[in-house]
Structure 1
């Protein structure tokens, strides 16, 4: 009988793709199967493989996973999410949308960003767009401002990635962005001098991006895949330490309900685009 080949796709930042490859290697070692892992070249909601249930393992942001599962004939199952090292993560599977400005700027709080140049990685991003949009809507409503008419930012421009947004701020092309805290920490580990140009003025907590699997997989295999994460072997544990992952925590769809609220409220209010 031919060996099972699992198709894994990462829809997350490329600066941690090396780590997702290490997870794939651990699956090969422990689950008697092969894994072909690739980086996505499109938004997960535009990926025909995902739409047609042809993705076995997905490294994916919680928001597009939630939106995919709402319309999918076979919703993906959430295995687990990483708990990051560092006191700010409180030993919980959370991360932050860090609101980042240039280190030399005068901005010290969210309200100071009115009239500035905002950039974001992509429209489907939870940390880069969704959480900031919800935060901005709450700010406008609290100040009795019409969200459909009021322009908070001077300009809003897509950069294409969190890394590019950070460089735009460092280079003075943009004034601010909401950045995935884990991605920013990984980028600064790789480019330490970048930290000298950046400063975080606020943070919005969120459930951590999970690893999900296709519900078409055998239940025993799904349990094996979950155990790879919850009980890592020595090689994977070493990679986790390098990636600043303390351990993995089991997660379910209910853990991501806050993302649904942050997405649904602005959409239902007609506030689809940050302005």
Structure 2
């Protein structure tokens, strides 16, 4: 989910090797291509630590077991395990505000996504009215991933789109990344960040060993460079009730008859 650049992917691999050594749990990296639905990953019975968005987790039955959530290091996260959605446009576009993008084309990632769908819809809800029930001429998706949104913007297939703020920060940390061709016109309210989960059948002692290792990342001196590369402060335990916010945003939009960001 956050292996959005070559360096970030390499840093995550190094971090997982450290987690495996620290916890004593043998972890095997699973490649999950974007052509496959994320539910195919999250319903696997052999997950030891996989990133999962809070929106599908809160709707899953049974729910995978939370392990730990990342705390991004940039100041805008205020040292908390949260993230936002940046609504972005091309750097050379004439749009200066979110309202300028109305009447054009908005993109989204997946209906099951918090950052790429639910947060976007919740933010736009405040701009709708009886005389303006639709804000955009077109709603284009699914674009599947933040990289899909970046590509759609730069190819001019859409005029504005949502980006997971932590993923966007990681992209912009890489010199020459295509994401530098975008700029932010609005940012949503913060929400609890995606977290690592284990499959429900995973033994409790394995889950506890992994959680202990993740919680040790912040203070491990040997991980300083990896934390810097991942814009990561460390990890916290998952406070499950905080994810009720995502369902509340969903219910509010549906009660208003606003099913798809548009």
Give me the TM-score of the superposition, normalised by structure 2.
Answer: 0.85
Q: Note the aligned Cα RMSD (angstroms).
A: 2.4
2:114 pairs, out of 102, 105, 126, with 126
Distance apart, 1:193 and its partner CA = 5.8
- In the superposition, relative to structure 1, how do residues 34 and 64 fare at CA in structure 2: closer, same or farther (>3 Å)? same
SS in structure 2 of the partner of residue 192 of structure 1: coil
Runs (5+) with no aligned partner, structure 1: 1-10
- Correspondent of 1:230 among 209, 215, 222: 215
Post-superposition Cα deviations, 1:40-98, rounded to whole Å, max 9, x if no partner, equal 232333x1x64363323221222122222xx21xx222222111122111111111100
Q: Equivalents in 2 of 1:230, 1:106: separation in Å? A: 45
| Cα shift readout 1:155-194 (whole Å, capped 9, x = no counterpart) | 2222332123223323433210010111112222335364
TM-score, structure 1 length as denominator?
0.81
- For structure 2, which runs of at least 5 residues remain unmatched after alignment? none
User: 1:259 aligned to 2:246?
Assistant: yes
How far apart are residue 234 of structure 1 and its match?
4.4
Do the aligned residues in 1 keep the contact of 2:24 with 2:209 (CA within 8 Å)?
A: no
Whether 1:55 aligns to 2:47 is yes
Structure 2 match to 1:24: 16
Compared CA separation, residues 190 and 257, structure 1 to 2 (3 A): same
Helix, strand or coil at the partner of 1:37: coil
Stretch moving more, 168-177 or 94-103: 168-177
Q: Is the contact between residue 103 and residue 199 of structure 1 (CA under 8 Å) also seen in structure 2?
A: yes
How do residues 123-202 of structure 1 correspond to structure 2 at under 5 angstroms?
A: 123-140=111-128, 143-145=129-131, 150-158=133-141, 159-192=143-176, 194=178, 196-202=180-186
**Judging changes above 3 Å, is the alpha-carbon distance between structure 1 residues 191 and 67 closer, same or farther for their aligned structure 2 residues?**
farther
Partner of 2:96: 108
Equivalents in 2 of 1:246, 1:52: separation in Å?
29
Query: Aligned equivalents of 2:177 and 2:201: distance in 1?
Result: 45
2:171 and 2:179 in contact (8 A); partners too: no
**Highest relative contact order (Cα 8 Å, sep 6+), 1 or 2?**
2
1:203 pairs with one of 187, 211, 217 = 187
Q: Please state if 1:216 is matched with 2:201.
A: yes
Deviates more, 1:95-104 or 1:210-219: 210-219
Q: How does 1:33-112 map to 2 (within 5 A)?
A: 33-41=25-33, 42-45=36-39, 47=40, 50-51=42-43, 53-68=45-60, 71-72=61-62, 75-112=63-100
Deviations, residues 209-253 of structure 1 (Å, cap 9, x unaligned)? 111123433333222211111112444443222111011121121
